[in-house]
Amino acid sequence: MAARKPDPVQSALDFERSIVELEQKIGDLQELAEHTRMDLTDEVRPLRELRDKLLRQIYSSLTPWQKVRLARHPLRPITTDYVNLIFEDVIELHGDKAFADDKAILTAFARLGDERLMLVAHRKGKTTEERLAANWGCAHPEGYRKALLKMKLAEKFGLPIVTLINTPGAYPGIGAEERGQASAIARNILEMSKLRVPVISCVIGEGGSGGALGIGVCDHLMILEYAYYSVISPEGCAAILWKNSDRAEQAATALKITSRDLERLGLVDEVVPEPLGGAHGDHLKTAITVRDRILSRIKELRKLPLADLLSRRHERYRRIGNGEDLVQAVLEARARGGRAPEERVEAPAGSTQGAEGEGAEPRGEERPSGA
């Protein structure tokens, strides 16, 4: 790409600075060695060792907030990079055929290895112009509607769908509300739950709330190691709960939004490891890992009969977030026809049925259905 890339030193996060400085020093020495044909291997080696040691130190103890900042790193690989590095034979499909072509979401035919598929991905852009055009990855309703239209096309022709998630959130603006941001997202979520082709999603950077989920209902959810997925941005959460957006660091911890936290909560199926120093240190290596993981999942999902694929996806979301205790409580309540257990003293005072209805009804049997 012709566009100028952001400067690595300028873009470095505070906790990365020592590493970037070391890397510059190494680079300078190597350049010097080339120019002067001096052998500086002995000088370079300790610096490299020091850098690796520092990297391991820093990356083994990253805070959730630091991970959020890595997910937003200006040098982090974004959709454009993945398209350039691993997708082939790409044909972009524009527009929702109703209102506009929202550049915050890319939809395209693409080939990954030997699999032809439909790619649906948030787009952030690298240069200022690109970022402006893509609205920093914040889609409008027409973006979600475009995505749905292309996913339906994929369904019709049996193409598996791959979605790459990287958005701070769906755009909160006047036009977005006027054109039904909420229902556009809801429609996608509902329709994706019954798409008759395999759907694989990968959070490659920011998984911002409903804006992420709007292209994120899938059979298999992957997340890069330093990506995050959250119900609200840490800043937004801090502004509401602590009345201070500077408490974002605290909110990032409280919200449990890192890949490992999400894995523990059973919300993601696979954490994709990033190279030491983060995905931005090695785009190609990251992209190839992502490619291989997606490919093997597509091949697995292709083996499932359609009915199994659909019921598996339904089950995935039917149970999502339910702890063991809740599953048990629902089972028990269902066995009582949804009624509260008899021994319960603090019967909800609000129920109109309350005293009169409850006692008279026979317990422990299902209410006749269709009554």
Considering only residues 159 to 178 of the shown chain, the ones binding another protein according to CB under 8 A are 170-174, 176-178
Q: Which is nearer to another protein, 10 or 369 (CB)?
A: 369
Q: Is 227 among the residues that bind another protein (CB under 8 A)?
A: no
- In the bound complex, what is the minimum distance in angstroms from residue 51's beta carbon to another protein? 34
Q: Is 328 among the residues that bind another protein (CB under 8 A)?
A: no
> Can you list the positions of beta strands (E) in 95-178?
105-112, 115-122, 161-167
Q: Which is nearer to another protein, 284 or 355 (CB)?
A: 355
Size of site (CB under 8 A) for another protein: 81
Q: For residues 126 and 277, give the distance between their C-alpha atoms in angstroms, rounded to a whole number.
A: 20
Instruction: Choose one: 1-9, 16-24, 284-292, 314-322; the region binding another protein (CB under 8 A).
Output: 314-322
Site for another protein in 205-224 (CB under 8 A): 207, 209-210, 213-214, 217
Least Cα distance to 139 among 110, 108, 100 occurs for 100
Q: Is 236 among the residues that bind another protein (CB under 8 A)?
A: yes
Least Cα distance to 165 among 122, 211, 105 occurs for 122
Q: Which is nearer to another protein, 141 or 277 (CB)?
A: 141
- Largest CA-CA distance found in the chain, in angstroms, rounded: 97
> Angle at CA 288, nearest 5°, toward 285 and 293?
125
> Angle at CA 63, nearest 5°, toward 58 and 65?
120
- In the bound complex, what is the minimum distance in angstroms from residue 16's beta carbon to another protein? 26
- In the bound complex, what is the minimum distance in angstroms from residue 299's beta carbon to another protein? 21
Site for another protein in 175-194 (CB under 8 A): 176-183, 185-187, 189-191, 193-194
Binding mask 31-70 for another protein (x = CB under 8 A): ----------------------------------------
Of 4, 42, 114, 321, the one binding another protein (CB under 8 A) is 321
In the 8-state DSSP scheme, what is residue 137?
G
Instruction: Choose one: 58-66, 71-79, 86-94, 227-235; the region binding another protein (CB under 8 A).
Output: 227-235
Q: Which is nearer to another protein, 159 or 295 (CB)?
A: 159
Q: Is 364 among the residues that bind another protein (CB under 8 A)?
A: no
Q: Is 359 among the residues that bind another protein (CB under 8 A)?
A: no
Other CB atoms within 10 Å distance of the CB of residue 247: 17
- In the bound complex, what is the minimum distance in angstroms from residue 115's beta carbon to another protein? 20
- In the bound complex, what is the minimum distance in angstroms from residue 207's beta carbon to another protein? 8
Q: Which is nearer to another protein, 167 or 181 (CB)?
A: 181
- 194's tokens: 């019954």
Which residue is associated with the tokens 């550049």?
Answer: 103
Site for another protein in 79-118 (CB under 8 A): none
> Angle at CA 33, nearest 5°, toward 32 and 39?
145
* 181 Cα distance to chain centroid: 19
Q: For residues 186 and 313, give the distance between their C-alpha atoms in angstroms, rounded to a whole number.
A: 17
Site for another protein in 250-309 (CB under 8 A): 254-257, 262, 265, 267, 305-307
Q: Is 153 among the residues that bind another protein (CB under 8 A)?
A: no
> Can you list the positions of beta strands (E) in 150-266?
161-167, 199-208, 220-224, 228-230
Which residues neighbour 37 within 8 Å (Cβ) at sequence distance 6 or greater? none
Least Cα distance to 289 among 271, 277, 262 occurs for 271
> Can you list the positions of beta strands (E) in the chain?
87-92, 105-112, 115-122, 161-167, 199-208, 220-224, 228-230, 270-272
Q: For residues 1 and 84, give the distance between their C-alpha atoms in angstroms, rounded to a whole number.
A: 9
Q: Is 74 among the residues that bind another protein (CB under 8 A)?
A: no
Of 32, 320, 335, 355, the one binding another protein (CB under 8 A) is 320
- In the bound complex, what is the minimum distance in angstroms from residue 101's beta carbon to another protein? 21
Q: Which is nearer to another protein, 285 or 318 (CB)?
A: 318
